[in-house]
Structure 1
């Protein structure tokens, strides 16, 4: 090599050395960040596992990461769970189980919280959110921090309510930031909810998000507006819907949170997604203070989970909303809260979860989101993410899994926003000879198109409040059915696979006896591939 060549190489080396670190430290451009964020938002999420993060409070026996992970997380590796939304307590506002300097650590050991190890865990260097982030990277599972926007478990006047309230410095020091008092309760919502009219509350919420974005290598933030869906003092106390001014305050807060995720995303050179969990009705959200269409139109959020302890509308409505703004939507498949013991039990089976999964995916949902399902060894985590396999497994559909439903802690009354069927033994429908009653259930499979030698046995089962009536007419999608057997108030009707439509199926029931008065209490469509079951 000539001397001139050596000089050139040396100069080039010096130039690279000089420019390299500066380029490495340069933040990602905003355009590139947004492009990366769009791509990340569209990745496959077969199942999102929501973990309310109370293992350090109730379950952990020591302070090690392995102990934290063994209860609900480690067994999820190599399942259909692609994403974990991990809530570091958030019961109530400002209380956390990660190493926060902006909020407060929930470290009380009073009463049923006597086993709370979080203070010792943090002192030992075991930060639950960091442990989850590390687990996610090791197992290629997304980790979102889930932030409950207004948890009111501390509103109860007995049990753990007063203990949780005594542990919350923010609420004790600023009772005027709450929507009510124990003696002056609002018309809807838990009295201990914070009032988002207060700029201090909105500033703190943004700061909580910022602190997590700065300190933890997570993939995204979930803003859980379903725990619990009440946000403004005036509306809660008056019992009236929220105003445009109140919605504007919440939207401006979301804009600030989006800005935080972009600033920190540029710094770390990868996007931090923003997800929300909200009721599945645009109108109900608006009246609750959440202008979700505006959020979507301004591209303030990347994912959306809908529903909770009540479902208001068919899944297709939420899917269409997501398509309009090109974001993925997920159904929150919360556990059944119908009050009839037998009806609840039948809705909590593996077969029922399979049916729910099939219905949601056939409606166009991007994947599934499960809430309050904490057994990591359950079969559902290895099944629900594959609709093609589920279609050939036994499954059940119901007219309603959650019935009328209610938001824990109270919320704006939702019945006027709920055209969806709520049929269950605690919300029966009265039948009389002078009118027919129509109820829909949602099927997720075109069975006649499956490549199967033997078709499944499909049975439509209807339950009544007394011995199954004989003088009754039942039609499925306008095709009259004939009952085959009956027991304990149930009538069973064999159904040919081709009789079922994909998605909505109408069942019309009428009485032929002019003197009959009957209450229709439940509907189940049972699909069995093994005829012995």
Structure 2
């Protein structure tokens, strides 16, 4: 094994030299002023949808499938051709910190297999096979992008903590040599439970961590012909040990992180000038400015000082409305994007599933209506999903079946910051235990974000509840009563709505219960459905239940 690692390191070194030669063939940009002018032009090119597939396609390659670049791409990438996706942001894992599936001399090359640790035993890590073939997952995606008209970004998870399950007596395959050799930089001791973070996070208070992170970006920008780089702070949002232990970030800590982002921006400018191709900087952060600041990120300052080009909001939870998030970019040379991650809501009604095309379309329609500049798709492994060809065009979304929810992702914001849930401006309602609402608290009022739904449609309000009778429910939207139509044995209550009462943007949903109220009476979910295509196969069950006629 040691001999193989030595050979791989030699291959990596030779590949770097080759990569530098390739990356520097374009004409050099002579001045920083000209470079920034070209970068601004590049930023303003249309890129309605950015796609990040999570990057573990190399890590979990089918164990019985022969490796080839094409077989690798066919898992999650090839089907992006012909969709609305303009930009691929490819993640080379970084779980944990500095653990990569691209060729690196600064970080660690991730070569271990999950099956060696009893994880995903039907898959294998093909990184070493790719390096043996003179390439790696990032390089294959760079070449794919160039050949097929995509932009290509490199995505780095700033502090991914999937390795927190590591124990001395039960090692985890994503545990890195760096963390093993440098425990002084971690939030805590192995297995230690922290109130607002994980023990395996690296602490950016340490200059050594920040310097190393800058070098990660410098190495990629100099050796891969990327159009942009991503600073993914939401995998995971753990920056400083003091915050993980229940405190808040100090101004000094925010300044540390701002300086690191400044240095990364500088690295992209130097590499982009040499190559003759500007490199954009994308960052993924929470939608609440104050929440982010308490954890260590001063996004307003980053935008004001021109350190980032694209800001993506939301991941496990969304704290603020899209229209407020969009305003951060007003009159600034920055683009604001809605982050659409996969839903992990539990115990959903079978007819009210969030993980379907009609819901992604609805989420995108609401984001476009709020004034955002684009959509960022995260953790979508099935690139054949129909919605990827639709969410980049608001005009298409006016004509489709769209299913909106009060809440799409329902994790707690306390996970990363003490008192984090106090920063929720958006409502929290889902069937997940802990996010249901008691009718004792009625009347219940929720704001629900909608897109431009002016095209003719049958409009229904859908409530998922238990312990109540339909005749006891009072439902209004924008102060107009909805009419009860039907109910199912599983607790789905259906109300008709006059489409004229619906407005683009934020709508007010009012739900009350007549008579005696008890804690056993629960509202689990609320949605608004716009039906235009009765023969939609994905929505057939719901449409039949609604008994919509044309």
Which residue is equivalent to 1:202?
210
Match of 1:300 among 301, 304, 307: 307
SS in 1 for 2:59: helix
Residues 144 and 491 of structure 1, relative CA distance in 2, 3 Å threshold: same
Which residue is equivalent to 1:497?
499
Query: Can you give the 5+ residue segments of structure 1 that lack an aligned partner in the other structure?
Result: 1-23
Write the distance in 2 (CA, Å) between the matches of 1:515 and 1:86.
Answer: 51
Match of 1:46 among 45, 48, 53: 48
Write the distance in 1 (CA, Å) between the matches of 2:399 and 2:167.
Answer: 48
Contact 2:438 2:523 in 1 (8 A): yes
Write the distance in 1 (CA, Å) between the matches of 2:391 and 2:29.
Answer: 39
Residues 365 and 161 of structure 1, relative CA distance in 2, 3 Å threshold: farther
Q: Is it true that 1:133 corresponds to 2:142 in the alignment?
A: yes
Contact 1:189 1:412 in 2 (8 A): no
Write the distance in 2 (CA, Å) between the matches of 1:467 and 1:473.
Answer: 12
Q: 1:218: Cα distance to partner? A: 0.4
Which residue is equivalent to 1:522?
525
Write the distance in 2 (CA, Å) between the matches of 1:315 and 1:160.
Answer: 45
Residues 125 and 412 of structure 1, relative CA distance in 2, 3 Å threshold: farther
* Pairs aligned (count): 500
Which residue is equivalent to 2:266?
259
Write the distance in 2 (CA, Å) between the matches of 1:358 and 1:31.
Answer: 37
SS in 2 for 1:376: coil
Q: 1:212: Cα distance to partner? A: 0.3
In the superposition, the TM-score normalised over structure 1's length comes to 0.89
Q: Is it true that 1:149 corresponds to 2:155 in the alignment?
A: no
Which residue is equivalent to 1:233?
241
User: Which residues in structure 2 correspond to 1:65-144 (within 5 Å)?
Assistant: 65-109=69-113, 110-111=116-117, 112=119, 115-144=124-153
SS in 2 for 1:275: strand
Contact 1:153 1:161 in 2 (8 A): no
Tell me the alpha carbon deviations over residues 452-503 of structure 1, each in whole angstroms, 9 at most, x when there is no partner. Answer: xxx2111111222224342332221011222122223232221122110111
Match of 2:228 among 210, 220, 245: 220
Which residue is equivalent to 1:335?
342
Query: Can you give the 5+ residue segments of structure 2 that lack an aligned partner in the other structure?
Result: 1-25, 536-542, 544-550
Residues 31 and 386 of structure 1, relative CA distance in 2, 3 Å threshold: same
Contact 1:52 1:86 in 2 (8 A): yes
Tell me the alpha carbon deviations over residues 264-299 of structure 1, each in whole angstroms, 9 at most, x when there is no partner. Answer: 111112211111000111001101111111111100
Residues 220 and 241 of structure 1, relative CA distance in 2, 3 Å threshold: same
Contact 1:468 1:489 in 2 (8 A): no
Q: 1:74: Cα distance to partner? A: 1.2
Write the distance in 2 (CA, Å) between the matches of 1:209 and 1:148.
Answer: 12
Contact 1:98 1:129 in 2 (8 A): yes
In the superposition, the TM-score normalised over structure 2's length comes to 0.86
Q: 1:394: Cα distance to partner? A: 1.0
Match of 1:351 among 354, 358, 362: 358
Residues 501 and 156 of structure 1, relative CA distance in 2, 3 Å threshold: same
The RMSD of aligned alpha carbons is 2.2
Which residue is equivalent to 1:176?
184
Which residue is equivalent to 1:367?
374
